[in-house]
Chains A and B, each alone.
Chain A
Amino acid sequence: MFENKTGRLIRCPHCFAKDMDVFLLYDDEKDEFYCYKCCFCGDLKKVNEQMQTFLKNKYIVKRYFEKK
């Protein structure tokens, strides 16, 4: 059912930031991913960058109990 290029599900970074799982669709003519829910659109590099920026700002990936 999912037709994006990589064969695995890629979630929209903008919708993910709103706590929503929305799987990007792939346009093979333009070689880009796009969201059917919001207006996100871009290549895999852009998807990954935006997801990483969001995650970097959202989580502190460190042991909480070893911090002190």
Chain B
Amino acid sequence: MKPKMYVNVIHRVGADDTEPFMKQQQICHKNNIKTTILLRPEGFNSDDTIRLIKQEHDMYGDEIALSLHAVDVQTKKSYGIREGKIWLIDFEIRKQIIVKYFEKFFEVFGYYPKAVAAYILDARTLNFIHENYPCVKAAITNCFEEGIKMFAGNQNMWHLFSDGGPWGAYYPSKKNSLIPAANKEEYCGIVGLPHLNRDMLMTITSRDDLFSGHVANVVRAKAYDLETGECPYTFDFIDMWLEQLHYNSFGYYNIFVSPIWMTDNTMLDEPGSLSIKLYDENMEYLKKKISEDRVSIMTMSEFGEWYTENIEIGTPEVNNWRDIICGTDRQMYWYIDPMMRVCFDGNIGGAICDLRPYAGRINKDTGPDTPNLYDMNQPYIISAEMRGGVHGGSLHTLKIYINKKEYCVALKRTSFIAEGNAKINITPVTVKSDGIKVTFESVIEFDGMGGMLITRRLLDVSDENAEVTFEEYDRTCFGTTQYQGDLRGCKLRIKDAEDTEELEYRYGGKELYKADAKVLEAVYPQIGTAIEMSILSDDVNGKAEEGFLFSPFITLSAKRIMKKGEELRTCLRIKRAD
């Protein structure tokens, strides 16, 4: 069977937004697209809203589901709280509010909701919902990468930190709602979904809340023709998501635009009519894709059921994205499995620009009763964006020495050819030094559980007398923001055939070295994570470097003198710190 993209169109409605909501509904139904209606708690008290959505459910088969995102004023009052965002409320009160809403839902509709949504849901909330309401099949659990840059872009006012999770559908772990479960025992029982699909390149280079399947967000970015109001980007966006079917066995896409964006009552200077027009065009485009048998429309819980029946727990997902809005050829490649999420950037020589370890399974529950408070960002160990990359910051790349002159491959552009969900070939790159040309290629193979086999092959050297050295270079740190985490207590290790040397991190700038190294390791007990670089080639010099306060990283390096046709092979593994 040809892989398909499963699409949820989601409308959220409360008490005072039924008019624009019905506009959205009509646009969808006109195109034979059924929707998932997320009822906001305010809506329980509106007879009009209840009548309307029951009618929509009966006539079009739309699913009525529950929005848990924001607590209604009345409920806040009754609990004496001012916090309105469900994932930030003290858990004891949060549970009572969730029960109240579920029971109210039952009272009104005669059944419990099969899907729920919030901008962020932590693991304990998902576990609680699953234990008490096992009928729930799917939940929107996060806003992909709407963390640091979106915060800065919104006057540092928008506290929505769920960076570092999956971009698509997944089986959330009981231990951490943004980590894909490794097995059945670990799965929380509710399929996790993102709030919107994002532009997987602009998500790194720009604010991803502006570049998503949400047409009004694209208007907010002003990424349309200012004269004609045409927006080719929104169609390319859908097409680029469809492209991902080349690499994965299915695709998931959701459109989740709140009715307010269809009105003039927004922070945009554009009228609501522009967003309505684009929304209409988008739905028509989806209808076309349905007729081409590439898209299938489902409701949220229908998709949850399809997913659990068809996709095995632990299945990796990849995304091979190209720039479709700024006119460059830049490419980003993403991969996720239960142990890590990683992104490679073509503009920096195919280096790893972002790496989130999941192996530590650390607790990221949120609320005033947790140490995390508001911060559900999954820690990175590489973030070129937040902690510098190309010029001495966190990065995983290859360095080449031509007659001892250093050349960082991250200063070259390249592209990726992806094979399924387990392999990428990085297009050959040529570096030049004093008239000598060195060409090499890289292949990355994923093992599905946090391991990456990295092969660097020296294809050609223009001067056979030149000395060419490859250095597999891995520079990490940890944190969830731009500012450094405390690295004291981290460990650096280096092993050869005989013994192991270890160094405890004290910002001393020391190094460990072995002439014939076999394994290098950086251990981050703060996040329960170790990164291990196993050296699979012979005659490799290994070095592990402690950083210092002005340059707080751990650097692992594997260096080998290369002859034409030879390979430097290493295996980079994200594992639980022992």
How far, in whole Å, are A38 and B201 apart by their CA atoms in the complex? 10
Q: Is the CB–CB distance between A39 and B411 below 8 Å? A: no
B411 and A34 within 8 A (CB):
no
- Nearest CB in chain B: distance from A22 CB, A: 9
Contact A38 B206 (CB under 8 A): yes
Given A1-B391, A39-B205, answer yes or no on A34-B328 (Cβ-Cβ < 8 Å).
yes
CB distance from B482 to the nearest CB of A (A): 12
The answer to whether B326 and A36 touch across the interface, beta carbons within 8 angstroms, is no
Residues of B within 8 A of A39 (CB): 201-202, 205-206, 323, 325-328, 330
Supposing A27-B413, A34-B413, A36-B347 touch, asked if A41 and B408 sit within 8 A by C-beta, the answer is: no
B401-420: which have CB < 8 Å to A?
408, 410-413
Does B290 count as interface, using CB distance less than 8 angstroms?
Answer: no
- In the assembled complex, which residues on chain A have CB atoms less than 8 Å from the CB atom of B345? 36
- Chain B residues contacting A25 (CB-CB under 8 Å) are 347, 390, 411-413
Q: Tell whether, in the assembled complex, residue A1 and residue B389 are in contact, meaning their CB atoms are under 8 Å apart.
A: no
Q: Is B300 an interface residue (CB 8 A)?
A: no
B205 near A1: Cβ-Cβ < 8 Å:
no
The interface on chain B, measured as residues whose beta carbon lies within 8 A of the other chain's beta carbons, has a size of 22
Main secondary structure of the interface of B (DSSP, over half): loop
Judged by a CB distance under 8 angstroms, whether A31 is at the interface is no
Task: Tell me which residues across on chain B come within 8 A of A43, comparing CB atoms.
Answer: none
- Cα separation A63 to B363 with both chains bound (whole Å): 57
Question: Chain A, interface size: which category?
Answer: 10 to 19
Inter-chain CA distance A27–B431, complex, in Å, is: 11
For the complex, give the distance between the alpha carbons of A49 and B391 in Å: 26
Output the least CB separation between A36 and chain B (Å): 5
In the complex, are the beta carbons of B205 and A37 less than 8 A apart? Answer: yes
Q: State the CA gap A39–B327 with chains docked (Å).
A: 8
Q: Are A36 and B389 in contact (CB under 8 A)?
A: yes
Best-buried of A1, A2, A39 by chain B (most CB within 10 Å): A39
Considering the complex of A and B, which 7 residue pairs feature the smallest CB-CB distances, nearest first?
A39-B326, A41-B328, A3-B411, A38-B205, A36-B347, A36-B348, A39-B328
Query: Can you offer 23 A-B residue contacts whose CB atoms are under 8 A?
Result: A1-B391, A1-B408, A23-B391, A25-B347, A25-B390, A25-B411, A27-B412, A34-B330, A34-B413, A36-B389, A36-B410, A38-B205, A38-B206, A39-B202, A39-B205, A39-B206, A39-B323, A39-B325, A39-B326, A39-B327, A41-B326, A41-B328, A41-B330
